[in-house]
Structure 1
Amino acid sequence: MLEERKNQKATRNLYTFLVSKMISSVGFGVFNFGISLYILSVTGSALSFATNIVFNVLPRALAAPLAGYVADRFSKKRVVVASMAGITVSVAALIVYTFMFGFSVSAIYTITAIFSTIGAFNGVAFSSALPNLVGKQRLQKAMSYNQVSYSIGSIGGPAIGGMMFGFVSMKVFLFAMMIAYFIALCLEATMDFALYETKVKVKKESVLTSMKEGLHYLSGKPLVKTLLMVTLCMNFFFSAVSVGLVFVLVQKLGVPSNQVGLIEGSGAVGMLVMSLYLSSRSDLRSPLYFAKKSAFTMCIIVACITLPLFFSLSSLHTFIFYMLLMVLFSAFGVLANTPIGIVIQNVIDDEYRGRVFGIIETLSVGMGPIGSVIFGALFDRMDAKVIFICTSLFLLLCITWLMRPSKIGYDHDEFIS
């Protein structure tokens, strides 16, 4: 009877998590789309737009290690609820500021930095709390639902934001986001974060000592270190796609801008479909073997980006080809990343999970911009065909070496025990 009640609570946590993440993802997608259009319409400057991206990425990367310490030191539920309340109050403060002084680019930069910082605490605490919320047996479904909410936000946010931008003011965008985050806050407050929690005695130690202990713990987990290296390699090399695809479409093939937008947006469809598939199927028996094969497929897809540069295709065929390619690329990205995330969640002890995920967040968030800068410079100086083919081969070799059978195990049972 007790176990049945526990399962019911876990199921309720699972679906509350899905709805909460979906609402906040769509709300942020609407806001982010409106902010992007506002900056470009007011300043007409790509540099101003890029500056906002820096304010969105850098504070999150810097705050993540501290967020990990806080998630391990205090109640994860309090951290999640307090951070979501902080985001909601920040939006309300921006609304008040807008009514008093008007909307400005400097205000956007400030609120973006605040969201990014507080978002690090919310994201790290939520990630480290997932096994406590739903149990290890439901991790695949929970992480798939997280991808589903992100995909719906990526699709629905710009779609709703695009419809709203021409008809309503930025104040309405802010109200929409505040309401979305307030609803998410109310939902998260009802979740039982201690359902599968392992009670541990929290040691009284300084922030710096605690962070060092987290690094020491991570150094003693060779499997986690290997999977982290795989993730960082994928984030770095696949940034060639985010930078180079638009360059190839616009500069090399002359694809119209409206088609470029559809091609880029089709990736979210692939993520959504594959996330729904993973959420509905049974647990993967060999998650790391599955992730390895999916990553190999992504490498092949990266190489295939060059095909229209070798063979002449009609504009329609080029459009269809790249749409299908991006659907597959994003779909296999889910198949590669989700199993790796599940294994990491399972093998890390509860008392260190926040700090480990804080480290992962910092490294993962930071690797994307570094890769974008490097590949951006390369695409200005080298043939795009060479870059994509070399990227595919280098990553293939990295994954083959890092995920060789002698380095990591492929058995499912060892990761859920």
Structure 2
Amino acid sequence: MNKNELNLVTSKFTSGFGVTIFNTTINLYILTVYNSGEILGKVMAIAGISSVISSLLGGYLSDYYNKKSLLKFLDISSLILCLIAIPLSYTNNLMVILVLVFLLNMNNNFSSPVFKSLIPDIVTKDKIPRFNSRLATINELNKIGTPIVATYFFSRQIIDIQEVLFINAITYLLSYIYVNKVDIIDKNLAHFRKVSFFQSYKSSYSYIHKNHLLAYLVYTGFFSNIFLGGFNLILPLYATEVLGNNELYGIFLSFEAVGVLLGVFSSNLIKLDEKLISERILLLISGFLLIIPSIWVSKYSIILVCFILNFSLGRYNIALQNYIQINVEKGYLGKVFAVIFTLSALSGPLGSVVFGYITNIFLKDIFIIISIGIILINLIWILWVIKERYNEKKHIDN
């Protein structure tokens, strides 16, 4: 990894470190101060709404404005927001907290499509897969270690929300410094005529549908996340109501995180499939394994499924990002990522609502429904790509 790439990774890690600390402790802070699951639900809903709005806006602006300048602006605005919020947080005013959560999550989700669309301007095409793999590995290590440290210090009152906001502000400052050091290697970037927000996404929708594989990637991602949302919902219910042990839920989440981390790390050692067939086969196998908890009611069956499913997802997400960054035109790159982020933000809660209703009817057998959904979605993709390859070969032979 050269100095330019290292600056980009360091910028992402530092800001992500601050965001993870904030998102972890804000939930504990709300439960400590307000002692209300309802208020926590409102905060999570606010965060979800902001992610939808900001992802679309970030995708639109990243295709028409300087991406590096956008990231620098987001870092500075987030830094100022954190500093302003420090004295206001002493009031324990709920409206202050809601606005703070909305704006910080908006800035964070705004930067996601901008950052991902910037990578091809910084990293040469042949190095994108390895760069994405290393970046994802670092991000997953952050997700595993940072919440544990943040929870430990906050629970023991070593830090409070004011210290968390100050730490967050420092990480945004560091992110700004490292983004500022990044040099754009692609000096001959195409300039696209600026159009309105709605016209822009209308053209992007048409662009996605012209590429059948890309369209199917986007839509299968949406439906897959609905079933994965159901899986995430069922984990705490299975731990408490079926196995009767609340602490098992934390263990399940730990094995999910380790699975993702090892899946991402394995992409450095085992080459990813450009058409994602190998990664889809892994998800297909994971789909079949999801049947096991319905047959074998045990914490070990859930641990096995959590690990293998998330190992497969870790590899798949890297392969998906590689495919988009290499195959999508730069004029559409930010908006395509924004569409994916937006659909993901919508599908997770939708899956929770749908499967939340189903769990009221039957609980243990819900794994079979999730299993069938994951199997069908990935099986269709595998057959689709095999058919495309057969048609290409037939065309060449003729």
Please indicate, yes or no, whether the TM-score normalized by the shorter chain is above 0.5.
Answer: yes
Following TM superposition, by how much is the alpha carbon of 1:322 offset from its aligned partner in structure 2, in angstroms?
A: 3.2
2:179 is the counterpart of 1:200: no
Range that drifts further, 201-210 or 173-182: 201-210
Structure 1 window deviating more from structure 2 (283-292 vs 109-118): it is: 283-292
Going from structure 1 to structure 2, the CA distance change for 1:254 and 1:132 (only over 3 Å counts) comes to same
Structure 2 stretches lacking a partner, 5+ long = 393-398
1:86 aligns with 2:77: yes
Q: State the alpha-carbon separation in 2 of the partners of residues 285 and 266 from structure 1.
A: 25
Q: Does 1:163 align with 2:152?
A: yes
* Contact 2:33–2:92 (CA under 8 A) maintained in structure 1: no
* Counterpart code for 1:27: G
Q: Deviations over 1:355-378 (max 9, x none)?
A: 221222211211111111111111
Following superposition, the deviation at residue 52 of structure 1 comes to 0.9
The residue that corresponds to 2:365 in the other structure is 386
Q: 2:167 matched to which residue of 1?
A: 176
* Equivalent residue number for residue 313 of structure 1: none
1:311-370 per-position Cα deviation (integer Å, ceiling 9, x unaligned): xxxxxxx44553343222211111222212211221100111112212222112111111
Equivalent residue, structure 1, for 2:279? 291
SS at match of 1:70: helix
Structure 2 residue aligned with 1:31 = 22
Give the distance between the partners of 1:409 and 1:208, measured in 2 at CA.
Answer: 38
Question: Quick check: 285-294 or 47-56, which moved more?
Answer: 285-294
Give the 3 Å change call, closer, same or farther, for CA 410–170 of structure 1 in structure 2: farther
Distance in 1 between residues matched to 2:234 and 2:389, nearest whole Å:
32
Aligned to 1:374: 354
The equivalent of 2:325 in structure 1 is 345
Summarize the alignment of residues 301-312 of structure 1 with structure 2, pairs less than 5 Å apart. 301-309=289-297
Aligned equivalent of 1:406: 387
Determine if contact 1:80/1:121 at 8 Å carries over to the other structure.
Answer: no
The match for 2:395 is: none
**CA separation in 2, counterparts of 1:285 and 1:291?**
7
The answer as to whether partners of 2:89 and 2:97 remain within 8 angstroms in 1 is no
Amino acid at match of 1:75: N
- TM-score normalised per structure 1: 0.87
One-letter code of the match for 1:366?
L
Query: Is the alpha carbon distance of 1:196 and 1:284 closer, same or farther for their aligned partners in structure 2, counting shifts above 3 Å?
Result: farther
Inter-CA distance 410–273: structure 2 relative to 1 (3 Å threshold): farther
Q: Give deviations 1:81-102, integer Å, cap 9, x for gaps.
A: 2112222221111113235xx2
Asked if 2 retains the 8 angstrom alpha-carbon contact of 1:85 and 1:185, the reply is yes
* Pair 1:247 & 2:237 matched: yes
Query: Which amino acid is 2:35 matched to?
Result: G
Instruction: State whether residues 273 and 279 of structure 2, in contact with CA within 8 Å, keep that contact through their aligned partners in structure 1.
Output: no
Match of 1:397 among 376, 380, 387: 376
What do residues 72-126 of structure 1 show as CA deviations (whole Å, max 9, x unaligned)? 1101111122112222221111113235xx2333222111111222223211101
Q: How many residues align?
A: 388
Decide whether the 8 Å contact of 2:67 with 2:115 is kept in 1. Answer: yes
> What displacement does 1:304 show?
2.4
Change (3 A) 1:138 1:103: farther
Q: Given the superposition, is the C-alpha separation of residues 110 and 321 from structure 1 closer, same or farther in structure 2, using an over 3 Å criterion?
A: same
Match of 1:275? 264
Q: 1:410 to 1:32 in 2, by over 3 A?
A: farther
When the two chains are superposed, the root-mean-square deviation of aligned CA atoms in Å is 2.2
Structure 1 residues 362-371 or 323-332, which shifts more? 323-332
1:359 aligns with 2:339: yes
Equivalent in the alignment of 2:207 = 217
1:286 offset after TM fit, Å?
A: 4.5
Q: Matches of 1:24 and 1:321 in 2, distance apart? A: 36
Offset, 1:235: 0.8
TM value normalised by structure 2: 0.91
Change (3 A) 1:409 1:142: farther
Equivalent residue for 1:4? Answer: none
The amino acid of 1:212's aligned partner reads K
Identity %, equivalent residues: 21
Query: How far, CA to CA, are the matches of 2:357 and 2:372 in structure 1?
Result: 20
CA–CA distance in structure 2, aligned partners of residues 409 and 292 of structure 1: 18
- Could you tell me which amino acid in structure 1 is paired with residue 258 of structure 2? V
* Aligned-partner Cα distance in 2 for 1:285–1:292: 9
